[in-house]
Amino acid sequence: MAKRARNRRTANKQTNWLLIGGLVVGGIVIFAGLIFLAFREPARLSLLGFCNNNPENCIVVGNEDAEVTVVEVSDYGCSHCRDFNLETSPLLEAQYVDSDKVKWVVLPFALQGQTGTFPTMPSAVAAMCANQQGAFADFHQSLFELQGTQFFNTEDGFMQVAAALEMDTNAFGSCLANNSYADTVIENITMAQQAGVSSTPSFFIDGELLPGNQPISIFQQRLDALLGS
């Protein structure tokens, strides 16, 4: 009888130690999971999804129903963006956009300066004002051509470009004066940062980030692979 009691006590001790051990292991697993959740990279916002859901924020060049979509994020004061838009972009447009294979989407954007402001915000707003009159593509390119001149990122420069493109300069001037699209550009900046944009130009080819002014062959490889050509 005493022996059976001792056996029960021993079994109870073993059960208690197993229970304690299980609790300790479980606690370690939970703690490790919390650490992982705290330090893992947060999910990035999809700029493609943002543009699809907020078409007023993004400007589409080309066929809306194209098989592949490229979202471009450029800053009008960025020299690499200028090089891309004046040299590489026309070639890609001729090969893919004009043939209705690719929908090219531009997200008007401005990089944050050292003082926390956005120096090229006026250019991004002007581009959206030009889009009101269906003149975005030519205006967009002209803004990059103004880099290095006294008219860069100025109202005088914007008005000269608008006049050269035979836009309604009165309506365009009112749009500039009212700073009509400032809130839209600020929202675009926030969304681009959440999507992983840290420098310009940046591109999202069917949602996949491609940073920098890459050689045209890199764009061709990515696009041809998606198009199956």
Closest C-alpha to 57, from 184, 172, 179: 184
Q: Which of 6-15, 26-35, 153-162 has the lowest mean pLDDT?
A: 26-35
Q: Which of 38-47, 82-91, 126-135, 138-147 has the lowest mean pLDDT?
A: 38-47
* pLDDT confidence of residue 133: 98
List the structure tokens of 170: 């009165």
What pTM, to 2 d.p., does this model score? 0.80
* pLDDT confidence of residue 110: 97
In angstroms, rounded to a whole number, what is the distance separating the alpha carbons of residues 180 and 192?
A: 20
Does 184 have pLDDT greater than 80? yes
Cβ burial, residue 31 (10 Å; 0-12/13-18/19+): exposed
Q: Please state, in angstroms and as integers, the Cα–Cα distance from residue 161 to each residue in 40, 131, 139, 172, following that order.
A: 47, 13, 7, 11
One-letter-per-residue 3-state SS of 138-202:
HHHHHHHHCCCCCCCCCHHHHHHHHHHCCCCHHHHHHHHHCCCCHHHHHHHHHHHHHCCCCCCCE
Does 40 have pLDDT greater than 50? no
Going across the sheet that includes 68-73, the strands are 59-61, 102-106, 68-73, 202-205, 208-211
Q: Which helix (H) or strand (E) holds 38?
A: helix 2-39
Query: Sorting pLDDT into bands at 50, 70 and 90, what band is 36?
Result: very low
Query: Sorting pLDDT into bands at 50, 70 and 90, what band is 142?
Result: very high
* pLDDT confidence of residue 14: 58
Does 158 have pLDDT greater than 80? yes
Query: Sorting pLDDT into bands at 50, 70 and 90, what band is 24?
Result: low
- What digits encode the pLDDT tens for the residues 79-123? 999 999 999 999 999 999 999 999 999 999 999 988 889 999 999
Does 33 have pLDDT greater than 60? no
Amino acid at 158: F
The mean pLDDT value of the chain amounts to: 87
